[in-house]
Amino acid sequence: MDDIKKAIRQIEFFRDFSDDEAERLLNCSQWVKFGLGQTIISEGGDDQYLYILVRGQVNVVKNRKVLAQINAGDSFGEISSLARSPRTAHVIARKECFCLRLEPFRIDSLPVEIQLKLVKKLLYTLADRLISINRRYVVT
C-alpha cells in the first residue's frame, strides 16, 4: 500500500490534493491492472467507473479509429462517471496499465471538499480535451 501511495503522489492528477485527501481517495478506490490490448471500457457499457491511469498508456477508440491516447497521470471514463450514462467509446490498454478505479457511489461518500477538488480536476481535464478536439477538427 505504501508503494501505491508513493506512486499516486508522483502523478499530476493528485497534485492539488493533500496527503490526507489523496489517501481518502485511495481508500475508496480499487487498484487494477490491465494487460496490453485488454479492453478496459466497452462502448455502450453501463459501468460508471472513473479511472486514474497511474502507469501505462491507453487508446480511446470509436469506430475502429483512435480518437485519443491517454498517458499516465491522467484520467478516463469521466463522462459516464459524471453523467451516469453509457460509455461513449472503447478504451484499450496500449501497454500494461495500472489504474485506480473509483465508483461514483464511493465518490459521493467522500467529504464535499474532496468531491469538489475531484470534480474541478475532471472539468479541467474535459475542457482541455474539448480545446484539443476543437483545434484538431474545427476549421477556422
| 67-94 confidence digits (pLDDT tens) | 999 999 999 999 999 888 999 999 999 9
Q: What are phi and psi of 112, to 5 degrees?
A: -55, -40
Residue 16 has pLDDT above 70, yes or no: yes
CATH code for residues 2-137: 2.60.120.10
Residue 36 has pLDDT above 70, yes or no: yes
pLDDT at residue 21, as a whole number: 93
Burial class (CB in 10 A: 0-12, 13-18, 19+), 139: exposed
Helices (H), 57-139: 78-83, 104-108, 112-137
pLDDT at residue 53, as a whole number: 95
DSSP letter for each residue of 6-59: HHHHTSGGGTTS-HHHHHHHHHTEEEEEE-TT-EEE-TT-----EEEEEESEEE
Mean pLDDT of all residues belonging to the chain: 91
Q: What are the residue boundaries of the structural domains of the chain, listed by start? A: 2-137
